[in-house]
Structure formats: C-alpha cells, structure tokens
C-alpha cells in the first residue's frame, strides 16, 4: 500500500517555465531539471491545468510522460504551455527513483504566477523564467 512506502524528501529537482519566442508569438516551455550530482531513473510526470475562466471551471487533459533516466545536472523539456493556459494553475506531479528510494513531489504554478515579475535565473537550463524547487 502507498502508506507503507517511505517517500524521501525531494531536493535539487525543479520544474521551470521559460518563454521561447518564435514567429508564431509567445510560447512557454516547461522543463524538468535534475540539479543533483546523480542520475534519476524511472521518472514519471503527470501534468494538468485547472482553474476558472469567465466564471466556468476548466480542467485540461492530463499528460503523462515517462523518462528512463535524466542525467545529473541535466534537464528535459516536458511540454509547450500555450499563453492562454497561463491563467490557469498548472500542476506537475513528479515521481522518480534514486539510490533505491522512491521520491514523489507535486509542483503547482498557481494562477497568474508565470509572469516576468517572478522570473529568476534557472540553473542547468541557463535561461530566465519561473522555477519551483
């Protein structure tokens, strides 16, 4: 049972959103960053958006991804986040294995948090954007 699993505290793993300019307009890319000095394996990512738009509850489709390994000090792009979804809360649930232990953490970019005022320098990625550790 899940209550019997000893989940360790997640450290040095982050989810970041950074803008990417192209000829179609503003796009945002979501990245999973492994800032550890070790590889993480069997990485599962479940993402979705939710919130209220014009007084109606909105929930996006869930996107599930699997990565066999994310190397030390590496990152992987997770998805493109269209500008119209920035007004929703965007949730990313990450699970992975490291040194025989299972780790699990939920990262939530709350409504309207992906804005330039919240930008920071994102390590490993070497871009500016919004990051949750």
Q: Report the C-alpha gap between 71 and 120 in whole angstroms.
A: 23
The distance in angstroms from the start CA to the end CA of the chain is 27
Q: What is the pLDDT of residues 107-130, one digit of tens each?
A: 999 998 999 899 999 999 999 999
Q: What percent of the chain stands above pLDDT 90?
A: 76
Q: Phi and psi for 2 in degrees, rounded to 5?
A: -65, -30
Beta-carbon contacts of 92 under 8 Å, excluding residues fewer than 6 positions away, are 15, 30, 32, 45, 46, 47, 78, 106, 107, 108
Q: What percent of the chain stands above pLDDT 70?
A: 95
Token pair 């394996």: residue:
41
- Provide the pLDDT for residue 27: 84
pTM for the predicted model, two decimal places = 0.91
Q: Report the C-alpha gap between 32 and 74 in whole angstroms.
A: 9
DSSP state letters, 10-59: P-SEEEEEEEEEETTEEEEEEEEEE-SSS-EEEEEEEEEEEEEETTEEEE
- Provide the pLDDT for residue 25: 56
- Provide the pLDDT for residue 65: 97
Q: What is the pLDDT of residues 48-100, one digit of tens each?
A: 999 998 889 999 999 999 999 999 999 999 999 988 888 899 999 999 999 99
Banded model confidence at residue 32, pLDDT cuts 50, 70, 90: very high
Banded model confidence at residue 103, pLDDT cuts 50, 70, 90: very high
């Amino acid at each position: 049972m899940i209550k019997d699993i000893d989940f360790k505290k997640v450290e040095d793993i982050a989810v970041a959103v950074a803008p990417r300019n192209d000829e179609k307009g503003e796009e945002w890319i979501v990245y999973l960053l492994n800032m550890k000095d070790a590889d993480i394996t069997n990485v599962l990512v479940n993402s979705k958006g939710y919130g209220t738009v014009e007084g109606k509850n909105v929930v996006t489709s869930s996107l599930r991804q699997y990565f066999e390994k994310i190397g030390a000090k590496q990152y992987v792009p997770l998805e493109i986040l269209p500008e119209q979804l920035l007004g929703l809360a965007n949730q990313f649930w990450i699970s992975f294995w490291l040194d025989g232990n299972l780790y699990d953490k939920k990262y939530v970019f709350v409504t309207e948090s992906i804005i330039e005022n919240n930008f920071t320098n994102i390590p490993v990625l070497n871009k500016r954007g919004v990051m949750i550790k």
